[in-house]
Amino acid sequence: MFNYAYHFNPRHHYMKKILEEFREKLLLKGGVYNPDHPDLVFVFGGDGTMLSAIKKYGKKNAPFMLINDGTLGYNKEFDLRELDWIYKNFSYDDLTFESHHFLKIEDKYGNYSLACNEFLLANAVKTLDFVVFLNGNYFMEVHGSGVCVCSSFGSTGYNHSLGGALFTSSDSLGLALFAPIRNRVYHPLVSSLVTAKGDKIGLEVLNDVEYEVAGDMRPTTTKLIGNEFTISLSNKVFKLAHIRPFSKYQRMRNGFIED
């Protein structure tokens, strides 16, 4: 027996009928619906629904399995049309797990916020003048619209759209710049970077320009003070559950190339 919860986009009203059958069928596989103490969280939707599920259930330390009812579903284990396969073959005891660290952004006063995919520090209109530090050491000064710092989990999203690298190491951070100015006066060292295990990225805004700090495309809920921030991998993790043979590289291929 195992306890489970499910999470879905409430705007998809047709899901309620599907989930009634899901609960009945999963009971035959030993699954007991218990959203207060889940051993596993099924997510019905796309990648955005997955992020909201992690936000809602992340403190319960239960792994997540995405059943795609969205457009991409990069981290999907199944599509919605495969429910019959789940009803016939699912076994909680056969699950394997994939761990990912939350990102942590912290100001110099100890205030912090967490994210799954990325943190953005940006101004869409005015040019920011900011410095990037690696492990407390000066790395480069940038004039541009901002910066994205991502985890491997988020490297395939906004980071990739900015020209950032795709990477699979869960111990690394990725950095990608927004529209950096390049001329004989301003020339940042790199536009994209993947760090080594344990590295921390520091950011300091030098000019008096307003900017936003956002995690997973939402303004940070924790008030961050000042103009200096450190981004690292948190000790806190979340997990994806797999019931099928799993390859990070095949998931990457499936996410960007339709076979």
Q: Are residues 176 and 200 in the same domain?
A: yes
E strand or H helix at 86? helix 83-89
Q: Which residues contact 32 (CB under 8 A, 6 or more apart)?
A: 1, 2, 3, 4
User: Token pair of 47, please?
Assistant: 């990648």
pLDDT tier, 259 (very low <50, low <70, confident <90, very high otherwise): low
Q: Alpha-carbon dihedral of residues 154, 16, 87, 253, nearest 10 degrees?
A: -20
Mean per-residue pLDDT for 226-240?
96
Question: What's residue 14's pLDDT?
Answer: 87
Answer yes or no: is pLDDT of 241 > 70: yes
Q: Are residues 112 and 230 in the same domain?
A: yes
User: Token pair of 198, please?
Assistant: 């344990």
Q: Alpha-carbon dihedral of residues 180, 181, 186, 191, nearest 10 degrees?
A: 30
Which range of residues forms the domain containing residue 13?
2-95+243-256
Q: Are residues 136 and 185 in the same domain?
A: yes
Q: Are residues 133 and 88 in the same domain?
A: no
What's at 235, amino acid-wise?
N
Count of domains observed in the chain:
2
User: Cα separation of 75 and 50, whole Å?
Assistant: 9
pTM of the shown model: 0.92
Cα-based distances in Å from 111 to 47, 99, 184, 226, 229: 28, 25, 38, 10, 10
pLDDT tens digit sequence for 75-131: 999 999 999 999 999 999 999 999 999 999 999 999 999 999 999 999 989 999 999
Q: Are residues 165 and 143 in the same domain?
A: yes
User: Cα separation of 253 and 182, whole Å?
Assistant: 33
